[in-house]
Amino acid sequence: MANKLANKVAVVTGASKGIGAAIAKLYASEGASVVVNYSSSKTAAEQVVADITRAGGKAIAVQANVANKADIERLFAQTTQAYGKVDILVNNAGVYEFSPLDEVTEEHFHKQFNLNVLGLILTTQEALKHFNEAGGSIVNISSLVSGTYALAGGAVYSATKAAVDAVTRSLSKELGPRKIRVNAINPGMVETEGLHGAGFAEGEFRTQIENQTPLGRIGQVQDIAPAAVFLASDDAAWITGEALYIAGGLR
């Protein structure tokens, strides 16, 4: 069976670990040339590239903080220098911090909105300069747990992900005439390095989520990546402006 992403070039932001790394690896296995973007985790990003090339795929790692316009421009300049075009953009880079309302600060707000929302918009804006007349696909990684199933103490983060869903719908209408599809994936709780770092991977909170999830477990990155392949592929040629919930039935 032919690779679903053969001859495509994909930029995956925040791809040094977690969901982004899983998407990058699966894209490469489906024939795409992949740009593994990272902000600070150079060693981890290079390991993702090594894993891809060892398996016979094509990938490069490019450092860029996608909350910074100059970095974004450099990311796509290096992408086109390496591969000549862009067909797929996965806006996965993000940050999450939880804080009770009385401890929310301007810094807490802007740190998350600058990356999760403004960074996504600016990255998409720059990517458009490198899509060709054939169009392409943009996949935004949102969140069920925080964007829809909002949690106490997550007002700012939840707001950023609700914004991602709104931006997805708006851009799908704006970019449809250019044959560029824009969709979102809204994962439930997924076991990643970030989840462990935040202290949510074990304990009462995880148990609570699992007990409320019809399929009885939290997700793994391998649960998310195939959907990102589908949305980027021709199998989803008539799908745009949608939010795909992957959360074991939790809603």
Start-end of H helices in the chain: 18-29, 42-54, 69-83, 106-113, 120-128, 144-147, 155-175, 193-197, 204-212, 221-232
Q: Please give the Cα distance from 89 to 33 (Å, whole number).
A: 12
Q: Which of 17, 90, 14, 71 is nearest to 48 (CA)?
A: 17
Residue 234, pLDDT > 80, answer yes
CA dist list (Å): 89 to 9, 14, 211, 231: 9, 12, 34, 11
Phi, psi of 12 (to 5 degrees): -120, 115
Q: Pull the structure tokens for residue 96.
A: 């999450």
Q: Which of 38, 149, 157, 245 is catalytic?
A: 157
Q: Which residue has the higher pLDDT, 251 or 14?
A: 14
What is the mean predicted confidence (pLDDT) over 217-235? 97
Kindly state the helix (H) or strand (E) to which residue 9 belongs, with its residue range: strand 9-12
pLDDT band at 186 (very low <50, low <70, confident <90, very high): very high
What confidence score (pLDDT) does residue 151 get?
Answer: 80
Contact 78, 59 (CB under 8 A): no
pTM of the model: 0.96
What confidence score (pLDDT) does residue 88 get?
Answer: 99
Fold of domain 9-246:
Rossmann fold (3.40.50)
- Cα-to-chain-centroid distance, residue 118: 14
Q: Pull the structure tokens for residue 140.
A: 């935004």
What confidence score (pLDDT) does residue 147 get?
Answer: 65
What confidence score (pLDDT) does residue 205 get?
Answer: 82
pLDDT tens string 95-153: 988 899 999 999 999 999 999 999 999 999 999 999 999 999 999 999 996 667 778 88
Q: Please give the Cα distance from 87 to 101 (Å, whole number).
A: 41
Residue 222, pLDDT > 70, answer yes
What confidence score (pLDDT) does residue 152 get?
Answer: 84
pLDDT tens string 73-90: 999 999 999 999 999 999
What confidence score (pLDDT) does residue 47 get?
Answer: 98
Mark whether 157 is an active-site residue.
yes
